[in-house]
Amino acid sequence: MKNIVLFASGSGTNVENCIRYFQNSSVAKVVAVFSNNPNAKVLERAKTYEIPSVVFSKEALSSEELLLKIKGFQPDLIVLAGFLLRFPENIITSYPNKIINIHPALLPKYGGKGMYGMNVHRAVIENKEPETGITIHFVNEHYDEGNIIFQKKVSLAGNESPEDVAEKVHELEQTHFPAIIEKLLNTKS
């Protein structure tokens, strides 16, 4: 059985989806949720499923203490699901090719600092993109620049609001994210 540690900063719908997906899995289980936001709804979601959660400050993200807490859960995969801070090098170095992120756009478009959530969807609309989607990628020391694992596209009609785009992207996230995590864990030794 492989261990998944999730990081999130907000509401945690993708986290909850992953928890539910792996609840009765023989492949993996979610063993912890980490958040930099003590008021994040994701913490309530973790509590509902009796998943341990760890709250830390932005300043503590690159601390040795946080790395030790992560190591205590023995993760086979660290999954960023709506985590808004740049991941620190000491954790990336400790878990090479074992940290992934989901991004609400087709990278390399609309990635980088500040490009998350509605910021991405507004940019897609403003640039009259004919399609958008999700990108699941490995995490490296730069925002949204790690090797791409998976992308899924959705067409846009051109009359959508940012909220409409968010809903289409969210459907892709809910459908594909846990399955790609499972596939990745099945291919890792």
Among residues 103, 121, 137, 176, the one annotated as catalytic is 103
User: Which of 15, 164, 4 minimizes the C-alpha distance to 74?
Assistant: 4
Question: Is 170 marked active-site?
Answer: no
Residue 22 vs residues 1, 70, 84: alpha-carbon distances, Å: 11, 19, 24
Residue partners of 120: CB distance under 8 A and separation at least 6: 103, 104, 105, 110
Q: Which of 36, 89, 94 is nearest to 70 (CA)?
A: 94
Which residues are identified as catalytic?
Answer: 103
